[in-house]
Chains A and B, each alone.
Chain A
Amino acid sequence: MSGPVHHRDADSIEAEAAEWLAREHFWDWADADKAALESWLAVSSAHRVAYLRLKSGYARTDRLAALQPSKAEGPGIAWPLLLRVAASFAVIGVLGVAGAFYLARNARPQESTYSTPVGGHEIIRLADGSEIELNTSTTVALRMEAGKRIAKLARGEAFFKITHDDDHPFIVEAAGHRVMDLGTEFSVRDYAGGELEVTLVQGKARLEAADAKEDQRSAVLVPGDVAVATADTMSIRKVKASDLANALGWRRGLLVFHNTSLAQAAAALNRYNPNKLVIADARAARLTINGTFGTHDVEFFARMAETVFGLRVSTAGTTTTISR
């Protein structure tokens, strides 16, 4: 890194890089354009890093695209849409700084809490490379204690992708249990009734009761295992890879239903939305559906019930009632 670096000023290079990127995304883009871009990039590393930076940064703004409303047309769209954007961002209740484990290492034990509101979905990336993905209405508190990385799932559901570190075991505490990572990807869901579900995707993890004096209620989970634990029971079943992917569909913003009753499907959607679905008729509640829904597709779901099953849909306030 000695020697003179041939460079033009960063601002004009970035402007050019942005122009390329905009052309690529929004305007006609033919092979000739692609070739022209390649030769522009080949001119200097300064061009390439500017382009790389914009491209990968812009790719990450795709979360904005997730806010696309269902088919709205016509002029004057910009304002309602903006409100929608603002509303979706409104409550992201977070305190502290991520990388909390490291910050907490020296100081007195200190907790950092992360929460998502109903319908929220967030990924916490930790300084050690681990990732915690929070589903709707979820709270996780992180702390470092005696060299252990501890994540307490206070409510909700989270997916953990842990960078294993023998010196700093990663432990998830939830509903009176502990999940200990042995190099792992897994999800933990705290059903509000003291019931806990742990799904292991990759690696290995140990599940045990938090007050495990005796070893009898402890199990090592392997990929495909779904463990359900209550205060005094623990059961493990195996699921197929495809079912595993469906169960974790929320990570992509999807709910996958397979022979699911309307009642269960409505309950699943209600987890993600402040507007609640009520199936007011016992027979309707038992109808089953297959299909993939966005976690926020309440309206779409209601319309489907109306058109596919011929049910009656009425909305009052934040409640949508489906009846015969």
Chain B
Amino acid sequence: MKHGGGMAEAPGTDRGGTRRDASMSASAAEEWFVREVLPLEAALMRFLQHNWRNKADIADLRQEVYVHVFDAAQKEIPAHARAFVFQIARNLLINRLRRLQIVPIEAVADVDALGAAFDAPGAERAVIARDELRRLQTALDRLPPRCREAIILGRIEGLTGRAIAERMGISEQAVSVHLINGMRALVDEVYGSERKS
């Protein structure tokens, strides 16, 4: 009998328990990071975009927040992910402003006010799941045609890179680039942070 495939649990967290001991805390941190922190991404991006003028820095800022948060979690998992993430983000922005040496006082005040607002229990986590299908469709629609085709063949039809190249009549190198771009765009959509081109 045929099974309606695809609805299976996401393979994101491996419950196989392959790694032990030394990397125990590392995988606990990873699990926590995926479960508690990543769902905050849309809110985090809004926070950063709101409080940092130079949009070109946003991706780097996000990365820096994630790195701080993840490193801290490897030592000890913070009790309140949301509060912790926004505190890190706030401190990061303040430090950056200080380093710029022109400390616009009102900017710092603003950051604090906003941070407080974001500490309230919010709906972002839920929004992600809610709109996921629509987001994915939109993301898929927005991909350049060839990239979209590669992703459809790969993600939906389950073809290998080589088979995609054959089907599309393009080089494997080109397929690889399409897949990488497509994956990144879809993932951005999953987390609800818009990709700035």
Contact = CB atoms under 8 A, between A and B. Distances in A.
B112 interface: no
B129 A57 contact: no
A89 B68 contact: no
Interface in A27-72: 27, 44-46, 48-50, 52-68, 70
**Residue picked from B8, B126, B129, B137, most chain A C-beta under 10 Å:** B126
A125 B129 contact: yes
Interface stretch (A170-178, A202-210, A292-300): A292-300
A298 B47 CA distance: 47
A192 interface: no
Given A89-B133, A125-B130, A53 B66 contact: yes
A27 B161 contact: yes
Interface string B154-185: 11111011101001000000011001100110
Given A52-B33, A252-B8, A81 B157 contact: yes
B17 interface: no
Contact of A94 (B5, B60, B125, B130): B130
A124 interface: yes
B184 A65 contact: no
Contacts of A13: 63
Question: Looking at chain B, what size class is its interface with the partner chain?
Answer: 35 or more
A285 interface: no
Interface residues of A, number: 76
B38 interface: yes
A121 B132 CA distance: 12
A10 interface: yes
Contact of A25 (B41, B154, B187): B154
Main secondary structure, interface of B, reads: helix
B188 to A, nearest CB: 8
Contact of A99 (B30, B127, B154): B127
B156 A26 contact: no
B100 interface: no
A268 interface: no
Interface string B61-76: 0111011101110000
Nearest to B168: A78
B13 to A, nearest CB: 8
A111 to B, nearest CB: 15
Contacts of B161: 22, 26-27
A1 interface: yes
A300 B186 CA distance: 31
Contacts of A53: 38, 41, 66, 187, 191
Contact of B157 (A77, A292, A295): A77
Contacts of A294: 2-5
A126 to B, nearest CB: 5
B22 interface: no
Contact of B38 (A56, A86, A253): A56
Given A26-B160, A52-B33, A89-B133, A10 B72 contact: no
A54 B182 CA distance: 11
B123 A103 contact: yes
25 contacts: A1-B72, A9-B59, A9-B60, A11-B59, A14-B184, A44-B67, A53-B38, A57-B38, A57-B191, A59-B11, A61-B136, A61-B155, A64-B6, A82-B148, A86-B137, A89-B134, A89-B136, A94-B130, A97-B130, A99-B123, A114-B130, A126-B126, A292-B2, A293-B1, A297-B2
Interface of B: 1-8, 10-13, 30, 33-34, 38, 41, 59-60, 62-64, 66-68, 70-72, 88, 91-92, 121-134, 136-137, 140-141, 148-149, 152-158, 160-162, 164, 167, 175-176, 179-180, 183-184, 186-188, 190-191
Shortest beta-carbon contacts, A-B, top 8: A294-B4, A99-B123, A66-B6, A98-B126, A57-B187, A59-B10, A10-B63, A26-B161
